[in-house]
Amino acid sequence: MKVSIGDVVLPGDFSDEIVAAGEKGKVILGPGLRKEPDAVYVTKAGVLRKRNPNTYWIDSYQKRYIPSRGENVIGVVTQKSGDNFRVDIGGSCPATISYLSFEGATKKNRPEVQTGDVLYAKVLVAGKDMEPELLCVDSRGLKGRLGVLTDGFLFKCSLNLIRKILNPNCQLLNSLKNEWPFEMAAGMNGRIWIKAKSSRETLALGNAILGAEFLSNEEIKSMCTNIATILAGHVS
**Residue 226 β-bridge partners:** none
Full residue range of the structural domain in which residue 84 is found = 72-149
136, 168: one domain:
no
Residue 236 banded pLDDT, cuts 50, 70, 90 = very low
Q: CA angle 109-114-116, nearest 5°?
A: 155
55, 107: one domain:
no
In a domain, 65, yes or no: no
**DSSP conformation class of 37:** S
Which pLDDT score, from 0 to 100, does residue 85 have?
92
d(CA 45, CA 172): 26
In a domain, 1, yes or no: no
d(CA 135, CA 195): 23
Which pLDDT score, from 0 to 100, does residue 155 have?
92
Q: What CATH number did the domain enclosing 122 receive? A: 2.40.50.140
75 neighbors 67 (Cβ within 8 angstroms): no
| Residue type for position 94 | P
Span 41-48, average pLDDT: 86
Residue 165 banded pLDDT, cuts 50, 70, 90 = confident
204, 222: one domain:
yes
Q: Which residue in 187, 161, 189 sits closest to 64, CA to CA? A: 189
Give the pLDDT confidence of 18-27 residue by residue, as tens digits.
877 766 778 8
Span 212-222, average pLDDT: 83
77, 143: one domain:
yes
In a domain, 2, yes or no: no
- In the chain, the number of structural domains is 3
In a domain, 207, yes or no: yes
Give the pLDDT confidence of 45-94 residue by residue, as tens digits.
888 888 888 888 887 776 678 888 889 999 999 998 888 999 999 888 89
121, 160: one domain:
no
